[in-house]
Amino acid sequence: MVELARDADGRFAFGYGGDTFYTAIYLSRCGAEVAFATALGKDSYSNTIVAAAAAEGIATDLVLRIDDRVPGLCLAETDEKGERSYEYWREAEPARQLFELPGWDHIAEELVAAELVYLSGITLSLYSNVGLGRLLAALEFGRERGARIAFDSKWKTRGWRGDDQRARAVFSEALKRSDFALPSFEDEAKLWGDATPEATIERLTTFGVKEIVVKNGSQGALIHADGQNVRVPVPEVIKPVDATAAGDAFNAAYLAARLKGEKPEAAALAGHRLAAEVMGHRGAILPPPKDNGGRKRR
């Protein structure tokens, strides 16, 4: 989306946003080979988003471009605790129709062929039943061919138009196809009524998810891997300047570390460190590193 974020002086700064887009950026910065699948218009704002992705080393050949359509719009405010609130205008954004537009079958083929596919609950809230069916089928076929699926069941009731029962049903289908679950405990408690992170893990294992990381803010993360639960505390509790994308950055660092063969505990520490860095900076995207020589391109 196009994002307008209000600064302390009351003026709005132009940017671009989206939870999975943030994760794609940080995955690329962590050295992963990344492509991002979405649909945009052919307007100047869409061009800016595509250029921003390309500048981060993210492949853009899976971005469908549609005539006479523009991205969604987000207005963001940050409070004194570093938490952001949003207002959205995104009902007509082309990303909602990604799996119904001409070219959707190519997107599905690439998902099936990928090493890892990452998506979120916000991703799922965009699509119609037709789009969801096509996406879920692609994930299932991908797993049969060796792809791993990572899912952050990020939940915003407004995105589901208040239909939490539908959200739970759709999330359940995604979890059945997931190898990694990366939820935040706050969301799981609100949507499912989980009393503890341990309860979240117990519930998610019933879907067959083998590796689970429950993010719980300053209380660290609870990992379930190889049949065991391990708590990984944050190295240092910080006062956030802006908490936007902290969880998305954690997911990126965690998955990048696991793709490199690191153990879950070490991956969680990498996630904590990157999330802390993001929280200490105003805005979701840190300034680009000076040396990107080790970053892969697709």
Q: Write the pLDDT tens digit of every residue in 145-198.
A: 999 999 999 999 989 999 999 999 999 999 999 999 999 999 999 999 999 999
Q: In one letter, which amino acid is 145?
A: R
Q: Write the pLDDT tens digit of every residue in 91-112.
A: 899 999 999 999 999 999 999 9
For 81, other C-beta atoms within 10 Å of its C-beta total 11
Domain count along the chain: 1
Residue 1 domain-assigned (yes or no): no
Mean pLDDT value across residues 39-47: 97
Judge contact between 39 and 98, C-beta under 8 A: yes
Token reading at 154 = 């990020």
User: pLDDT class for 7, splitting at 50, 70, 90?
Assistant: confident
Q: Write the pLDDT tens digit of every residue in 236-287.
A: 988 899 889 999 999 999 999 999 999 999 999 999 999 999 999 988 999 9
Residue 292 domain-assigned (yes or no): no
Q: Could you tell me how far CA 34 lies from the centroid of its own chain?
A: 13
Residue 15 domain-assigned (yes or no): no
Residue 81 domain-assigned (yes or no): no
Q: Which domain holds residue 222?
A: 20-40+56-66+94-279
CA pseudo-torsion sign 189, 227, 179, 173 = negative
Residue 75 domain-assigned (yes or no): no
What CATH number is attached to the domain comprising 150? Answer: 3.40.1190.20
Residue 260 domain-assigned (yes or no): yes
Residue 252 domain-assigned (yes or no): yes
Catalytic positions are 248
Residue 18, pLDDT above cutoff 70: yes
Query: What residues contact 286, with CB distance under 8 A and at least 6 apart?
Result: 277, 278
Judge contact between 198 and 187, C-beta under 8 A: no
Residue 298, pLDDT above cutoff 50: no
Residue 125 domain-assigned (yes or no): yes
Mean pLDDT value across residues 34-54: 97
Residue 290, pLDDT above cutoff 90: no
Give me the pLDDT at residue 9, please.
Answer: 77
